[in-house]
Structures are given as C-alpha cells and as structure tokens.
Chains A and B, each alone.
Chain A
Amino acid sequence: MDSDLVTRAQEGDQQSFTALAHDAWGRLYQLALRILRDEDMAEEAAEEALVTIWRKLPSLREPSRFEAWSYRLLVNTCASVARRRGRQRREISGDMGRPPSAPDAFDAVIDRDELERGFRRLSVDQRAVLVLHHYLDMPVETVADVLGVPVGTVKSRVYRALAQMRIALDVDRQPRPTAYREASR
C-alpha cells in the first residue's frame, strides 16, 4: 500500500482515494464475503467500509497502517450489516466445556455443507478472527493489533469458535427428533 497515496487521500484528494479504493476493494470484499457468507451483504459491508474509510481517513495517524486500519473498520461494518439484516447468529445448544468428540466421530471426511452451517452459527467477532487468522494467515498478535483487542482475547475467540463449530458439526450429525425439526422451522 502506497503511504503517499494515503497521505494525499487524507488531505481530501479524491483521485488518490479512488486509486486506493480500487486497490483495496478486492481485499475488503473477499474478507467481508468470508465473514458474512453472503454476496449481497459482503458487497454492502465493503461499500460501507470504503465510505467510512474515506470519512475517517484524516484521523489515521500512521498512513503505513492503512491496511490494518481498513480491516478493523471492515470488521466493524460487517457486524453492523449483520445486525441490520437480522442475520445474527443463532445460539446453539451444547456444553462449550465438554471434551472433544471421540476420534472416530471425526475420522469421516468433514462435510462441506455441515462446515458451512457451523461457521454461519458463529458470531461475527468469532468469524472475523478465524478469517484473519486462517484466510489471511495473520499471526494472532497481528489479528489482535488489527481488531484492537488483547492477544489473549484473540486466542480465546479462535478456541471458542473452533469448539463451537465442533459442537455444531456433532449436532448436525445426530438424528433430529421430529419435534426439533418442526420447532426449528
């Protein structure tokens, strides 16, 4: 990312911001898509994030940190869009403290749709840490820096997110009683 472009955009130069936006759009959209799992919502979130970036750009003190700063704004925007669309996570039942499933339960190939459903049940904050850590390959220290939270919080979110997904996968694999299916519609 060119710090000079950022500096000029901070001074209100829309042409520089247009160049920045073209450069950043792919990353923002792809990140939002992986967090929100919905193309329309991802586009909305990336669009909102770009406008917010423009509005708040003068407050960015270190232009070299533009990329990390833009990711933080994007994650916040994803949370807003998810709230607005009323698609916040549904709480799932399960004891978060229980030990992992027996080995044979996971020997089978993990079904992609089950995985997708499990991921969608996570909160936006949990999804964000997984996406930054697993998709962008950011170390947890960098994820903490991007999100503005302690390293311990990131580690705990990653742990809880994976644990929650494991429970969701287990729940998916259990035969559901008729009453549950009807109630969940």
Chain B
Amino acid sequence: MTNDQALDSAVRALLREPAVTRTGGLHRALARVGTTPQRRRRWWPFAVTNTGPRARGVSMASAVKFVVAAVIVALFGGFLLAGVLTAPPGDEMAPATTNDTILPGVTLNVEEVEPGVFRVIDDGERDIAKANNTGIVAGHDGGIWLLRPQHFFRLGSEAHEWPVRKLGVPDFEVAPDGTVWAMSGGHLYSVGRGSDDWTRTKGPAGGFSGQFEGSAFWVTSDGTVWATWEGVVGYLGADGWQPVGERPKRPHSQFHDLFVSDRGDIWAFTGDLEHLVDGAWRTYGSPDGGWSVGKAAGADGTFWGTGRWDFVRFDGTEWTTFAWPDWVPDGRGTTDPLRAARDGSIWVGTPGHRYPGSVCSGVGHFDGMSWSRYLPDLCVEAMDITADGVAWVLASRDDTDDSLPRHVYVITPEAVAATE
C-alpha cells in the first residue's frame, strides 16, 4: 500500500467512526420553525416593501412573546416544579424495592411519586435514574428495553448490552425471541440474542440497491416483521419480503407510518389514513385541522389518531370523535406518543417543548369514558404499554435540555384503578 493510499484509508476510517446522534438541536429547530416565517419567492419588487416591515414586526412580536413566556415559565414553572420534582421522596426513606410486581423476574429499586406510580432508581445492575435514556420499548419477549446513546439493554437481565449502529437513535422493536429490530435512515437492522453483530436486512427481490430501504416498520406479537417500501406494505417471510398491498402510484404514495394489529389489520399513513382491506387500499381524509403526530392501532384492529382539536377512533366502518381534556394543549403535535392498550384503552403523552405550541402536561389515560392524568408536569419522551397494561414512560422536566435526566416511570394498573 502506498503512502497516499494509507493516508486515504486512515482518513476514511477516521470519518467513519461511529458517533451517537444528539437530538436536542432537532427539537429546538422545530420549535424555532414554529415562529419563523418562510422566505417566499418575491415576484414583484413592490411586494417586498409592503410585506417586509410587517413580516419583521410579526417576527419581533413573536420573539418578545417568547421571551416573556420563557421568563414566566422560568420564574413560576421552576417554582412549582421544585416542590414536585426536586424534593426528596421522603425523609431519609430508602427507595422501595419491588420484585415480580412491576416486571416479572426483575428486581427494581423504585420510589413512589404518586399512588401506584413509580420512578425507577436502578435494576440492581444499572443506574436508571440518572442516565441519558432516549427510548423505551415493551418488547414482545416480555422485557422492558431501554435505548441509550451507546447501546440497548433489557432491564434486569441480559447483562449483555448491544451497541447501536453509527447512524444515531433508531426506532426499535423487540420480537418474542429477543431479536432487536431497528430502523435507521430507512435501513432495517437486526441483532439476535448473544450476538454483537448487526445484520442489515436485504431488500425485496429486484430492488435497486439490494439493501432494504423503507420508511416504517412494525413487529407483531408473533414476531412477524412488517415494513413499507416504495408505496408497498409487506412482511419478511422465509423467502424474503412478501408484498401484501401496493398503493397505486400517485402523489403522496410514500408511507410514513405503519400499524399492524395482531389480527392482521394494516393501517398506514401517507398524509391520509390508508386501510388495507382484502388487498385493496381504502383512503380516508384527515380530521379538521389535520392529523397530528400521535397515532396508534389497538390489538383489536381499531385505529386511533389525534387531530388538532380532538382525537378519533375508527374501527374500519365507524368514526368516533372524542374531545381532549382541558389539560391537553391545543395544537398539532401536542400528543405524542399515543399507545393503545390491549384492554381497548388509550394512553397519550404530551411531548412538551420539542413541538411548537406544546406544553409539558404529563401522561393521560382514556378508558373510553373518562380521563386520568399522571406525572402532570413532565415532558414525555417515549412510552410503551406492556401486554398486562403497565405503562412505561420516559420523561423529563424539559425535553429540549439534554443535560436533564430522563427518568423511567412506571404507571401500574393499580394506579389506574385508583383514579378511575
């Protein structure tokens, strides 16, 4: 190898060193986008002089409002939060230790922050409370999985920790056999138990690059991996990808979200809601104000979606609209994540500052009749529901500040029963 080749290879290796993707800047950028006007093409010079000062005035007013709001939140919000979150959980009281009540077979050191609601301190092996957790998944293997900047791990057992691919924080799901599936940058990877080697999934036969390039994926409770690619929904079978529904080529044909119920109902999003029935897609429009980020599919095949003003349930034939409770702030993107429990109830998280117009308002549970609210001042980063109805929540006091810890909270069915 010549010197030039050696240097070239060394530079290539340096630049390809894995690095974790921070996401705080993304949330700040999206918050800024909410108050930043786009620079329109100006076809007529007089329009510039007419709209310029006005545009600047609006921008300045928004900036002033933002600063005033920030000061108020800093003064009063911090005051209120201090009593709830920074006070010790009890004078010199050691955190309670639970075993087999929240997570079977796993001993967790927890502290109770509300009746039936716990904050996880550690799992006997790892400090959970102070770590920079970024994702949480209730795996189909019965475990609770956390994603950190460097690795995945399963609470309580599986001392083995899986390193994360270089392309940052992926979406991930866990199959019944413990295989972790992750999508990052449109590519689908998997790593099995006992292995450190991520396998990049091959694409469908005849694909352009040979590698899978898609936009969303889903793992059902029987371990089947579903995904979308180029307007197609299909599953990964023994002989590769098997398409089950291809959307006719037309504008907005790319799927962004995918939900597959345990009984095989397939819902996908292109901007509109798409439902695959007997091999044909049925397309439904959006509620008033447009679809929000939060969407979910129940085990019974029901679709749940959030809009600007309310949220809806659709069972394939009939739409039902529900009003938000007072504490859910108005505006797009103010409820995310949305998760459906097996008993038909629905859980919502409020993401807080990372979406324009949103406010950290905690977690809500809706049983079809009434709402319950938990952890009311926290920003929900991620949430998942186990098969037996326990809500696992990753939340912080400010989801735009990466320096704050993201705690893991557990909302038990006992807490739900006590408040409803």
Q: Interface on A for B, CB 8 Å cutoff?
A: 2, 4-5, 8, 12, 14-19, 21-22, 25-27, 29-30, 33-34, 39, 42-44, 46-48, 50-51, 54-59, 100-101, 103, 105-106, 110, 112, 115-116, 119, 130-131, 134-135, 162, 165-166, 169
User: A134's contact among B12, B168, B290, by CB below 8 Å, is which?
Assistant: B12
Stretch at the interface among B85-93, B249-257, B365-373, B409-417: B249-257
User: B271's contact among A8, A42, A44, A135, by CB below 8 Å, is which?
Assistant: A8
User: B21's contact among A30, A110, A116, by CB below 8 Å, is which?
Assistant: A30
Of chain A, the residue at the smallest CB distance from B29 is A50
Of chain A, the residue at the smallest CB distance from B333 is A18
Name the distance in Å between A89's Cβ and chain B's nearest Cβ.
16
Q: Would A50 and B26 count as touching, CB distance under 8 A?
A: yes
Enumerate chain A residues within 8 angstroms of B34, measured Cβ to Cβ. 14
Enumerate chain A residues within 8 angstroms of B290, measured Cβ to Cβ. 15
Q: Would A12 and B19 count as touching, CB distance under 8 A?
A: no
Q: Would B30 and A30 count as touching, CB distance under 8 A?
A: no
The answer for the CA separation of A46 and B41 in the assembled complex, in Å, is 24
**Interface size bracket, B side:** 35 or more
Of chain A, the residue at the smallest CB distance from B2 is A103
Q: A21-B26, A100-B4 are in contact. List 5 more A-B contacts (CB 8 A).
A: A21-B29, A42-B22, A46-B26, A58-B38, A165-B7
Q: Would B256 and A19 count as touching, CB distance under 8 A?
A: yes
Q: Would A47 and B38 count as touching, CB distance under 8 A?
A: no
Q: Does B3 contact A (CB under 8 A)?
A: yes
Q: List B1-41 residues whose CB lies under 8 Å from chain A.
A: 2-4, 6-8, 10-12, 14-16, 19, 21-26, 28-30, 32-34, 36-41
Enumerate chain B residues within 8 angstroms of A47, measured Cβ to Cβ. 25-26, 28-29, 32
Q: Would B38 and A57 count as touching, CB distance under 8 A?
A: yes
Q: Does B185 contact A (CB under 8 A)?
A: yes
Closest 10 CB pairs of A and B: A47-B25, A50-B29, A43-B25, A106-B3, A135-B15, A26-B168, A110-B10, A2-B254, A25-B26, A47-B29
Enumerate chain B residues within 8 angstroms of A57, measured Cβ to Cβ. 38
With contacts A29-B25, A100-B3, A110-B6 known, is A134 near B167, CB below 8 A?
no
The answer for the CA separation of A25 and B11 in the assembled complex, in Å, is 24
Q: Does B353 contact A (CB under 8 A)?
A: no
Name the distance in Å between B56's Cβ and chain A's nearest Cβ.
13
The answer for the CA separation of A123 and B14 in the assembled complex, in Å, is 17
Q: Would A51 and B11 count as touching, CB distance under 8 A?
A: no
Of chain B, the residue at the smallest CB distance from A34 is B15
Enumerate chain B residues within 8 angstroms of A101, measured Cβ to Cβ. 3
User: B356's contact among A14, A16, A42, A115, by CB below 8 Å, is which?
Assistant: A14
Of chain B, the residue at the smallest CB distance from A161 is B11
Q: Would B39 and A58 count as touching, CB distance under 8 A?
A: yes
Q: Does B293 contact A (CB under 8 A)?
A: yes
The answer for the CA separation of A77 and B227 in the assembled complex, in Å, is 35
Q: Does B291 contact A (CB under 8 A)?
A: yes
Q: Would A4 and B29 count as touching, CB distance under 8 A?
A: no
The answer for the CA separation of A2 and B2 in the assembled complex, in Å, is 42
